[in-house]
Structure 1
Amino acid sequence: MKLSHMVIILLILAGIPLTRAWSMGFDITGTPEGGYLIAGATGLNYGYSHAWLIKVDRNGNEVWDKTYGGNCRSQAWSVARVEGGYVFGGITGCRDDDAWIVKVDENGNMVWSRVFGYGGGGDSATAVARSGKGMLAAVTIAPCRNGCTNEDVWIVKFGANGTEIWRKEIDNRKYDSIKRIIRTTDGGYIGVGATGDYENGSYTNLDLWVLKLDENGSVEWSDVFDYGLLDVAWDVVEQDDGFVIVGEVWTCALTGSTSTSAKCVYPLVYPILLKLDKDGHPVGEKKIECGGICAGWGTVDDVVAGVAVKNSSELLWICNRTDCKNIEGNFTFLPLIFGPVRVEKAEDGFVVLASENNSVWLGKFNSNLDLMWEKTFRHKLEEEHFGKPSAHSYLFQAGAAIALAAILVAVLRKI
């Protein structure tokens, strides 16, 4: 692959703008009134930001929004409705991120906050879910202070007041991360994400990972699916006869007639739908063809949504059992970190959360995939909220791009 091509792909995929006004939406959940609560981040740029919650009514009109500051970069990556309010999970930190879990009341006022981490970086609360009167968090954590070459998963159960009830530590491979976790009808939980290796200074050979837990956090079954060079599951929905998982697969278009002469011409990224029965056995799968670089990130009922990069432009795509539609726009996303395209049920259809032009984008669709309305939200935090941006703010973003470059190089070296 030519260096210029790699740079173009990284700029398209990174979605980390060097800007003084930046906003992004990461997750969404329903409210008791039939509206929605959006979780995300807003600030000067990706490196200097505050966690951000936006409550809207059923028509997408803003009811309130609040920001929550931690250290330098604080973001809300996942959100769930719980008894007495909501809980969000994400990150907080400067050079080294910690996992951050926060409960707020119905009006967005902080009730309690918990931080997990060793100060070595790579720690995040990637998924949260309701659990009875309490809540559950899936934490991706590097269990050492310096030079960690592995990241593990902690499943942590909290009471309503934030007291830790139990914790399960799971060390599968060098890289383990749960990107989404939901409560199942049997009282347990199912989480989806990725598990992989560590080679040449970067995580590589990621495989799609599905983890089933009982109500006490004990593992009932764990399955790994290897489709390509980098496979990640972003969302899961339970159906009467099993589970549907949506994710993305990274592989390469090859040239050469033999294994020794084969070379990677350009990366291929496509969405995958995987159907499992209640015991974790695969009963079906579907590769969604949309051309270019295309990833699946959100699902609800029979709807799946994601993003695609075609001709240097980003667009949303939405599919049901019979049809697919594209939504044109300058949509942005961050690969291999979390899935910032989410789908939530609505009274007469569904809503899709994404990010467009440094703003949070929310669209309402009917069952025929027609766009009924769309809203954008932007909250500019001025410099006094953070102080004058330091060189680290921009070095952080450069480091993120370098990290993505390392991932892509690792992919190419596998060919």
Structure 2
Amino acid sequence: MRAIYTFLIGLFLSLTTISFSQNFNLEWEKNSNTGGLDFYSDVIQDSNNGYTVVGAKMVKSRSLDIWILRFNTDGDTIWTKTLGTANKDIPKNIIQLTDKNYIVTASAQKENQELLFLTKLDESGTTVWQQFVETSEYLSANDIVQLNEESFALIGAKGTNPENTKQWMAAFNLSGEMIWEKVFNDNLNGCLKSIKKLPDEGFAMAGNIGEPGKNDCDICVLRTNNKGDLLWSSRVKSPGIKMWPECICCSPDSCFMVVGWQGNCLNDINSADPVFDYDMVLNKIDCKGKILWTKKFDREGSEGGNALTIRPNGNFIVAGIKATSFLGKIGPWLLYVDANGNELGEKLLPFNFNNDQITKVINCSDGGFLVIGPGIQDATNTRSNGWIMKFAEL
């Protein structure tokens, strides 16, 4: 009798999970279908409740241009815009300012040097200005946010070279001129990956830090005021494990949720060729920087988290990838979790090509949510399609 009872309980839970998965109701999807290499890296819901996407597409052998697409609420294309330099351009992020103009960030090459490249466009996609951020040091931007009516901020990494960077934040006016910059945890190597503006006009940021010379890193969460002055910095320590965040999200309970990747080394982490098994990792940090809990999501192979958003009911959608699997379950991955990180359901999207994953998830004004992929691709890939999917309210 106990065996039968256990079986029935298991069957009920299985059916519950299957039923929930069906609640990920796809309303529409669009694929770029350029026939070559292209990808989407960031998306926003714009001032007209449609969606603006930034990505890149191949224009000649191993050369990428920035590609901006604007869709209406039904996924129909309103306009597209291609811009960039004469060399390879890798777009990162896009925001729409309160005046409805866009700012796009990218990395681009100038005189064989990789530099931060900024573009401002108006609401119709016409270029207002574009310029390099000139510096003698390596500089990379990973996220962007509007500071106020007159400025925006970038976060990322700055250093003597790409292997020796510090966590970096800078403010720019709407003409693209730097107003101020900050470097955090300057005794450690690291970078900042994600930033969110808070109700008090300050900011929460997530990044990674590590000891110089060691093949290891930890997740770090920072809190600043509206001028970038550091209020506190918290570190999720993980000795012998590589752990880094991709996105930070704010909770109604004044806590922060951070999603990313956790790599358990299968040999010597400081060897010339360490081998990692990756899991998606989710962290909750309170408003004063105390780490409340850390949870990892481990399936048959390697997994990772790239984005998350809080739903109106206080639950979270977490998005990323199932990168490898012994059972063949590979592809862009959605998890639905409650405020304590307990799983409520999941959805595996179709896998189209190598490294296909969800790079961004956003809430929509109609109660649904939207995801894009496959994220930044290597220019040596022969084929990759940007895609966008709109889901109904859960």
Q: TM-score range by the shorter chain?
A: 0.7 to 0.9
Q: How does 1:100-119 map to 2 (within 5 A)?
A: 100-118=117-135
Deviation at 1:297, TM superposition (A): 0.6
My pick for the range that moved more, 312-321 or 211-220, is 312-321
2:265 counterpart (252, 256, 264): 252
Q: Which residue of 2 aligns with 1:129?
A: 145
| Richer in helix (by share) | 1
Stretches of structure 2 that go unaligned for 5 or more consecutive residues are 1-33, 311-315, 338-343, 376-382
2:290 counterpart residue number: 281
Residue 361 in structure 1 maps to residue 361 in structure 2? no
CA gap 1:55/1:282 in 2 versus in 1, 3 angstroms: same
Structure-2 change in CA distance of 1:174 and 1:92 (3 Å):
farther
Deviations 1:294-316, CA, capped at 9 Å, x for gaps: 00011011110101122577401
54, 58, 70: which one aligns with 1:55: 70
Equivalent AA in structure 1 for residue 348 of structure 2? N
The residue number in structure 2 matching 1:345 is 363
Moved more, 46-55 or 185-194: 46-55
Q: Counterpart in 1 of 2:43?
A: 28
Pairing of 1:329-344 with structure 2 (within 5 A): 329-333=351-355, 341-344=359-362
Please give the alpha-carbon distance, in whole angstroms, between the structure 1 residues aligned to 2:62 and 2:185. Answer: 29
Q: CA shift at 1:320, angstroms?
A: 1.0
TM, length-normalised to structure 1: 0.73
Match runs of 1:403-414 below 5 Å: none
Please give the secondary structure, in 2, of the residue aligned with 1:108: coil
What TM-score comes out, normalization by structure 2 length? Answer: 0.76
Are the counterparts in 2 of residues 333 and 340 from structure 1 also a CA contact under 8 Å? no
Question: Partner of 1:6 in structure 2?
Answer: none
Specify whether residues 193 and 366 from structure 1 end up closer, same or farther in structure 2 by C-alpha distance, changes over 3 A only.
same
Q: 2:248 maps to which residue?
A: 236
What pairs with 1:8-27 in structure 2 (closer than 5 Å)? Answer: 21-27=36-42
Say if 1:331 and 1:277 are closer, same or farther in 2 by CA, change over 3 A: farther
Equivalent of 1:91 in 98, 107, 119: 107
**Residues 292-331 of structure 1 mapped to structure 2, 5 A cutoff:** 292-301=301-310, 302-309=316-323, 310-311=325-326, 314-321=330-337, 322-331=344-353
The C-alpha deviation readout for 1:293-347, integer Å capped at 9, x for no partner, is: 100011011110101122577401111121111112125449xxxx961001112
| Deviation of the 1:148 alpha carbon | 6.9
Change (3 A) 1:287 1:148: closer
For 2:82 and 2:319, locate their aligned partners in 1 and report how far apart those are by CA, in whole Å. 27
- Separation in 2, partners of 1:46, 1:131: 38
CA deviations over 1:167-213 (Å, ceiling 9, x no partner): 223353553211111211111111112122443xxx72121121211
SS, match of residue 303 in structure 1: strand
Q: 1:204 to 1:129 in 2, by over 3 A?
A: same
Letter in 2 for 1:153: Q
**Equivalent position SS for 1:328:** coil
Percentage identity across paired residues of the two chains = 21
Q: How many equivalent pairs are there?
A: 331
Q: Which amino acid aligns with 1:323?
A: G
Letter in 1 for 2:318: V
Q: CA deviation at 1:360?
A: 0.7
- The equivalent position to 1:214 in structure 2, one of 213, 225, 247, is 225
Q: Residue 100 of structure 1: CA displacement?
A: 1.7
Distance 1:97 1:46, change over 3 A: farther
Structure 2 partner of 1:411: none
Deviations 1:114-162 (A, max 9, x none): 4235456x5322111111112111142234xxx6751123311122333
1:196 to 210, 224, 247: 210
Listed as ranges, the gaps of 5+ residues in structure 1 are: 1-18, 369-415
CA shift, 1:31, in A, is 0.4
Letter in 2 for 1:220: L
Contact 1:295 1:306 in 2 (8 A): yes
Bigger drift between 32-41 and 165-174 goes to 165-174
Structure 1 pair 107–218 and aligned structure 2 pair: CA distance change class (3 A): same
User: Helix, strand or coil for the counterpart of 2:67?
Assistant: strand
Larger radius of gyration: 2
